[in-house]
Amino acid sequence: MLTTFTPLIGAGADLFDDKRMLMAVITASGIIIVFVILLLLIFIFYAYGGIFRALTVSKEKKAAAKKAAENAAKAAEPPSAAAPAPAPAAAPATDGEIPGEIIAVIAAAVAAMSGGKTYAVKKVTRAAQETGRRTAWAAAGLYENTRPF
């Protein structure tokens, strides 16, 4: 209840030895207890994370094995009459590392931004990556995920 106000400055100023003891006890015990509890939590959550990761890996392995078995069963079936493949379109020149899907996405982005004019993507090359820097896609993904904060 805020009815009285007692000035505390100077209270017990002559008890310097007791103060030193008080400071030492509170500081040491406080730091030790905070660290011990949080270190214990680190230990628990490392163990806990390890268990969960192991469980996830085991699940993934099982799922992969199941999928492989299914694929093998499909491969064993006799081949049906396949439709003739469409004639391949002229592809832009690449350095050989860029998959076709990515080139299609880039071409679609160029078409979307072209404003009705027709452009041809003739060459796609990978830009030099600065070490220690994220790609534009990684940065955009992170930005998207962290925007609420």
Partner 1 sequence: MEILTSIWDSIISILHESGLLQLFVGDGWKNAIMIGIACFLLYLAIGRQFEPLLLLPIAFGMLLVNLPLSGVMDVPTTELVPLAQASATEIAKYGQIVMPDGQTYVEVAHSGGLLYYLYLGVKLGIYPPLIFLGIGAMSDFGPLIANPKSFILGAAAQIGIFFTFCGAILLGFNAKVAGSIAIIGGADGPTAIYVTSKLAPDYLGPIAVAAYSYMALVPIIQPPIMRLLTTKKERAVVMTQLRTVSKTEKIMFPIIVTIVVALLLPSAAPLVGMLMLGNLMRESGVVKRISDAAQNELMNIVTIFLGTTVGATARAEVFLTPETLMIVGLGLAAFCLGTAFGVLFGKLMYIFTGGKVNPLIGSAGVSAVPMAARVSQKVGQETNPSNYLLMHALGPNVAGVIGSAVAAGVLLAVLGR
23 versus 104: smaller Cβ distance to partner 1? 23
93: contact with partner 1 by CB under 8 A: no
- Identify the residue among 73, 118, 128, 134 touching partner 1 (CB under 8 A): 134
Question: What is the 3-state composition of the chain as percent helix, strand, coil, each rounded to the nearest 5?
Answer: 60, 5, 40
Residues 6+ apart with CB under 8 A from 129: 135
Closest to partner 1 by CB, 37 vs 108, is 37
User: Pick from 14, 17, 44, 119: which binds partner 1 (CB under 8 A)?
Assistant: 44
Q: Residues in contact with partner 1, total (CB under 8 A)? A: 49
Return d(Cα 146, Cα 123) in angstroms, integer: 34
Q: What tokens does 12 get?
A: 């017990």
Q: Which CB atom, from 3 or from 118, has the smaller least distance to partner 1? A: 3
25 and 17 Cβ atoms separated by less than 8 Å: no
Q: Of 80 and 129, which has the nearer Cβ to partner 1?
A: 129
Residue 141 C-beta: closest distance to partner 1, Å: 9
3-state secondary structure of 23: helix
